Structure 1
Amino acid sequence: MPSLKEIKGRIASVQSTRKITSAMKMVASSKLHHAQVAIQNMLPYETMLEHILKSFLAAEAEAQTIFDQERPVKRVALVIFSSNSSLCGGFNANIIRLMQHGVDALAQEIGLENIDVYPIGRKVAEKAQKLGYNVMGNYAELIDHPNVQQCIELAMDLGRRFADGEVDKVELIYHHFKSAGSQILTTKTFLPIDLESELERDHERDLTTNIVTKKAQDYLKKNRRKKVVEEGEVAPLNDNFIVEPDMDTVLTELLPKMAHLMLYTALLDSVASEHAARMVAMQTATDNADELLRQLNLQYNKSRQQAITSELLDIVGGSVNN
């Protein structure tokens, strides 16, 4: 059995670790709030752009551009989002595992040399280089400082390569942020743009809370649903658009904007998912430290009581012998 001094040393060590994990959890919670605000600020633009595209799609389904035309796949580009740092649970491990499965499947069809990897995040960049993949550039700074202009430049570069026939398909691999306790690993085709499936994808996000327990989230969703029903539905927008000069020209301008939005949305979702995963991981670590402290304190008290009892027995035994 360990001595009282050793147990006290372990208690001090666990308490120190608990302070660190608790502080990291609070920092991750604050960063998650900022990431949720960034997504919320992007949503009005996304809503209006999708409304216009849906209206155009309903008006003229035959309209096509170079960005939504499929062709035989001979070369593929993968844009993969991870984090720059660790201590976020299985966030990076899941992304890297999905990347490896995707690359292995594509390599059997078109060969590994025909797969380009665009890593957005240091963790996936290091893993891709270690595995010998064809890594295109370094975009780690986007994770720490999400920037619309850099996303547009990357989307334009991918669009140029697709238009010139250098790549035939571009896919995004990232975590879709649904709530603080739920991030869904997603693989989505970036180019060619499947407009119908993109406009019908899952848009559900909980941007109002950082609570991660399922019971609390269910309660908030239930109350929020009641509030929406009480407030009533918002009147739809007027769809009487005047299209100048013609539908194809307008779609040629709108589809690149849709591509820019898709890439920026994936970046914001990935950043928010990273902070949420780190917050959950640090909360779990703090809870584990609390449980370990409880066990150590119990062990310390038992050992202390046993030592006191032994001393009393020695004193009583000595007095009896005298």
Structure 2
Amino acid sequence: MPVNTRELRRRIRATKSVKQITKAMEMIAASKMRKAQLAALASRPYAHLAWEMLVALGASIARSGSENAAVHPLLREGAAEGPRLVLVLTPNRGLCGSLSAQVLSEARMGRGSEVHYVSVGKKGQRALARLKLPVVAHFNGFETQPAVAEVRPIAKMLMDAFIAEEVVAVDVVYADFISTLQYRVRRQALLPLRIADGLQQATTPEFLFEPSPAAALQELMPRLTELLVYQAILEGLASEHSARMVAMQGASRAADDLIDDFTLTYNAARQAAITGELADIVGGRLAVAL
């Protein structure tokens, strides 16, 4: 069957146009990726130190003979069974591989008979609505590093639901950034804040808290919860932009391969057409000579 060279030229032009788009998207994603990675990595030491401070406060309260749960309701251990709240962090847009699908798959894994969802990001909102899962609230996702004030309403809603004993626990599911080429979907227990393990491993010296450890804990607990949500969002952003950059890089390479294949087929078809024309000319010349 003869090859349509005109159709091949059209496909080559179309693929080159697609490659220009994917290359531009790759460069944009690379720029956003770098900023998101720096933000996520820079905030990790702060989150770690904040947790150490919480452990130190818990140790001081334990030495005084008080119960942490009595000091702040966010430390209250709920019932083993009961309604749970899951915060699902997904991108607003696609073209980032299977990141959103992996986050949603982890979020749907059953932990208790009754699970409600809070979605951040349009991909999660649409998927949860399509699956007809109970979504109690939705927040717009973030394209760039948010301010802490933008995250505060999300954390406040989670804390209010837990303090009011509407749920026994709150989890957050997000893509934890590891490297440009790797992320890990993680489910982290957010509330109640468990510092018992930290108390067992605490090696920090004894601090003097003014006016008292309990008063300091009252101020720190909401801020630490906000910080945990904020850190999860930063990790998700770094993972999203890294995954999108890698996906667009792969799309550009695939476009290059297609262009090479089409060009090879086009050149072979042209060569065959030229060879056929030469054969016709030679044949006609021989016929005239005879």
Normalising by structure 2, we get a TM-score of: 0.87
Partner of 2:83: 75
Deviation per residue, 1:122-160 (Å, 9 max, x gap): 011111122222222221144556231132222122112
Answer yes or no: is the 8 Å Cα contact 2:181–2:246 preserved in 1.
Answer: yes
Provide the C-alpha distance between the structure 2 equivalents of 1:33 and 1:198, rounded to a whole number of angstroms. 33
Per-residue deviation, residues 87-146 of structure 1 (Å, max 9, x unmatched):
11111111222223x2xx24xx434xxx32110000111111222222222211445562
Q: Is the 8 A contact 1:18 1:289 kept in 2?
A: yes
| Secondary structure of residue in 2 paired with 1:70 | coil
Q: State the 1:180 CA deviation.
A: 0.9
CA distance in 1, matches of 2:240, 2:145: 14
Q: Does 1:305 align with 2:271?
A: yes
1:1-322 paired onto structure 2 within 5 Å: 1-57=2-58, 64-65=68-69, 66-72=73-79, 73-100=81-108, 102=109, 105-106=110-111, 109-111=112-114, 115-143=115-143, 146-195=146-195, 239=205, 241-322=207-288
Q: What is the SS of the residue equivalent to 1:243?
A: coil
| Separation in structure 2 between the aligned mates of residue 148 and residue 142 of structure 1, nearest angstrom | 12
Write the deviation string for residues 212-242 of structure 1: whole angstroms up to 9, x where unpaired.
xxxxxxxxxxxxxxxxxxxxxxxxxx95632
* Most deviating of 29-38 and 263-272: 29-38
Q: Tell me, yes or no, if the aligned pair for 2:90 and 2:141 is still in contact at 8 Å.
A: no
Provide the secondary structure at the position in 2 that maps to 1:138: strand
Counterpart-to-counterpart distance in 1, 2:136 and 2:199: 29
Alignment CA distance shift 1:294-1:158 (3 Å) = same
Question: Which moves more between the two structures, 300-309 or 31-40?
Answer: 31-40
Aligned positions, number? 278
Q: Deviations over 1:25-77 (max 9, x none)?
A: 00101111221232244345324323323444556657513222322131111
- Any idea what SS the aligned residue of 2:101 has? helix
Name the CA shift for 1:199/1:80 in 2 (closer, same or farther; >3 Å): farther
TM-score (norm 1): 0.79
Q: For 2:165 and 2:12, how far apart are their aligned partners in 1?
A: 63
Alpha-carbon contact 1:39-1:269 (below 8 Å) kept: yes
**Larger Rg, first or second structure (1 or 2):** 2
Show structure 2 runs of 5+ residues with no match. none
Give me the whole-angstrom Cα distance separating, in 2, the residues matched to 1:68 and 1:83: 30
SS of residue matched to 1:110: coil
Post-superposition offset of 1:297: 1.3
Partner Cα separation in structure 1 for residue 279 and residue 124 of structure 2: 63
CA–CA distance in structure 1, aligned partners of residues 198 and 150 of structure 2: 22
Gaps of 5+ in 1: 201-237
Cα distance in structure 2, aligned partners of 1:82 and 1:49? 25
- Alpha-carbon RMSD across the aligned residues, in angstroms, is 2.5
